Chains A and B, each alone.
Chain A
Amino acid sequence: GESVGLHLPTLSVQEGDNSIINCAYSNSASDYFIWYKQESGKGPQFIIDIRSNMDKRQGQRVTVLLNKTVKHLSLQIAATQPGDSAVYFCAETLSNAGGTSYGKLTFGQGTILTVHP
């Protein structure tokens, strides 16, 4: 079946650097994408989302970029901090006609981000 995957399973950066985590998706029909952060021993936590009618969306220190042409998604974290160390998952889903998903997410494998002080 179609799935979401990640290019890099691990990423190590120095505190203060910018981090970029990549994700490739294969289902061209997916129209809603989410990034989650999962700290050790905890459940995933929502970071930022983007719909397919957008190319870029910014949050606090995070930016998600969507390239529908090559089916690529990325998460940029500015001024990475040790507290950002976690596993990051991208997820995709297909909205219903009303633009609201039933939350049937397909998750990628995950990228481990390690931030060194």
Chain B
Amino acid sequence: NAGVTQTPKFQVLKTGQSMTLQCAQDMNHEYMSWYRQDPGMGLRLIHYSVGAGITDQGEVPNGYNVSRSTTEDFPLRLLSAAPSQTSVYFCASRRTSGPTDTQYFGPGTRLTVL
């Protein structure tokens, strides 16, 4: 299994541009989520999905859209990039059932908005 994969690894945008961060997992996990990590801070939840066709907002959803058309993929869209969205973005997945809540994180996408 490849686990959780993210593309691109690095991206530079200009203010106002749009882009989509890709996330895929091959573990048949129902739950997927997006976090952002800013310098000196822990991860903050942006959006999450408990299954195909179901998404919900996390702690910091403004400026981001998500969709979940398949179990495997959970893309994150920036509609109009702003410098405040400069961050490292992590996608994660897990099973919705089981005795532990182990989340598997992708390697991250480092985004810079100029």
Contact = CB atoms under 8 A, between A and B. Distances in A.
Given A100-B98, A102-B50, A102-B96, A108 B33 contact: no
Nearest to B45: A104
B94 A103 contact: yes
B77 interface: no
Interface string B39-80: 011111100101000000011000000000000000000000
B42 A107 contact: yes
B24 to A, nearest CB: 14
B94 A43 contact: no
A101 interface: yes
- Looking at chain A's contact residues, the main secondary structure is loop
A49 B101 CA distance: 8
Given A32-B101, A103-B48, A44 B41 contact: no
A34 interface: yes
B106 to A, nearest CB: 5
From B40, B100, B101, residue with most partner A Cβ within 10 Å: B101
B48 A105 contact: no
Interface residues on B, range: 20 to 34
Contacts of A34: 101
Interface of B: 4, 31, 33, 40-45, 48, 50, 58-59, 90, 92, 94, 96-108
Given A100-B98, A107-B43, 12 more contacts: A42-B108, A46-B102, A46-B103, A49-B100, A89-B42, A100-B97, A101-B101, A102-B48, A102-B96, A104-B48, A110-B40, A110-B42
29 contacts: A4-B42, A34-B101, A41-B107, A43-B92, A44-B43, A44-B90, A44-B103, A45-B105, A46-B103, A46-B104, A49-B100, A89-B43, A93-B101, A95-B101, A99-B99, A100-B101, A101-B101, A102-B48, A103-B31, A103-B92, A103-B103, A104-B48, A105-B43, A106-B59, A107-B42, A107-B44, A109-B40, A110-B40, A110-B41
Interface of A: 4, 32, 34, 41-46, 49, 89, 91, 93, 95, 99-110
